[in-house]
Structures are given as C-alpha cells and as structure tokens.
Homo-oligomer: A and B are copies of this chain.
C-alpha cells in the first residue's frame, strides 16, 4: 500500500496547521475528509483530487482512502483538530489490517488546546475530555464519566455539547456535575468557531452555563475547584505562587 496520512488540521486555517501536516498535504495525490474540513484546505490545493463525505460517512470515507492508497495513490485524510481525538485515526487503523504500517498519524492542535488558549489557561492542571455525543456511546456511560471527573476534581473540557438531534445535553451534563457537588459559581467558558471567522468566546459560571444555548461548533470548559477568573480569562493554578 502507498502512504496514507491522517492529518490534523488544528482549529481551522493554514496558520493553525503544523509544518508536518502541511508537508503531508503537499505530498498527497488525493485529499479525503468530511466536507466541512476538506473545504478548509481545498483553497490551498485547488488542483488536487479530493473525496468528501458528510459527517456520518466515516466508514465510507475510510474505505475509499484505503482503497486509493492500495491502488498506488498517496492519500491524506484530513481531520479537524487532532486525528487521534474523536477523529479518523482509530477507524482507519481498525480497517487497515496489516496495511496499518503504511498509515501515518500526523497530530494537530485539538479544540481543547486552541479553545483553552482563547479563554486563557483553563487546562493548566489535570483535565479530562468528554464528548457529549451519544451517537456511539450510551448516555449512561457519559454521565458516569462526568461523575468520575467531578470526583477527581478534574478540569473538564466538553466536545460535541449539542447538535440538532441532541438538544439539552449540555443542560443535563451541568445538572450531573452540580448534583455531584461542583459549586454553581465554578468558573466555566465556551469558545465557538475557534480560529475561524466568527470566533466567539464567553466566560461564565457553571450555573449560567446550564442555561446557555450552544451548538455543535462550540467547545466547553468547566474549571476545577481552584480555577479563577482573572482579567476576564480562565486560569487554573498549578501552585507556582507557593514556590517563591
């Protein structure tokens, strides 16, 4: 099989991509991906062949990319953020079989990092990422993870807080965390369209977050017991102040 790169684009435009990601796209004969992400890179490579599928077409997209690489093409499967975080690296490695040796994962800046940078420094101490999408995970398991995260006093970053088919997930998640003992005043934040036109962000409390309308292009941050709002930004301390 020829090389199949699974490439993380980071938050959006060319400036969020690593040099290694850019080099992989340069080398590819064929670009594959979810339409939304492919549209971010097609202007950079107007003459390359491409294959786009809607969001739910993951397996179709993976099989097409694998067949193209087996047929001799150098292929890049593009993913928003990092391909290893709720991205295409896993399904591709599962489907590739022994050809997995020719699959190279090129990491990128996932929304927890790019969104955290917009809000300040919410992830300065131990944190966890939880997706609120129940398309592939039972909601009970998601609630269990939220409770465990609360028990461990982790900073929490939520992916997929909402979608057309899943209204009210963020409200339910905030409810679980409040029941688990998080203070209603816990500093939180969200960022929408990170690194893209129309980027927006807000810092607010957990009680306010529960009633906040969010969409699928939003990443949500919930502080730990130490997180503070400083000059309008979220900062989780590591304890450096005691060090002097």
A residues at B contact (CB < 8 Å): 8, 10, 14-20, 22-23, 56, 58-59, 82-87, 89-91, 93-94, 96-98, 100-101, 105-110, 113-114, 116-118, 120-131, 136-137, 141, 144-145, 147-149, 151-154, 230-231, 233, 235-244
Contacts and interface: CB of A to CB of B under 8 A. Distances in A.
Nearest to A114: B107
A86 B238 CA distance: 8
Given A94-B237, A116-B84, A154-B148, A126 B124 contact: no
29 contacts: A8-B109, A19-B22, A58-B240, A58-B243, A82-B113, A84-B113, A84-B124, A85-B113, A86-B124, A86-B125, A89-B121, A90-B121, A100-B120, A106-B117, A107-B109, A109-B113, A110-B113, A126-B145, A127-B128, A127-B129, A136-B239, A137-B238, A137-B239, A141-B153, A145-B152, A145-B153, A148-B149, A149-B152, A151-B151
Contacts of A23: 15
B14 A93 contact: no
Copies, count: 2
A155 to B, nearest CB: 9
A77 to B, nearest CB: 12
Contacts of A20: 15-16
Nearest to A145: B152
A89 B94 CA distance: 37
A85 B15 contact: no
A243 to B, nearest CB: 6
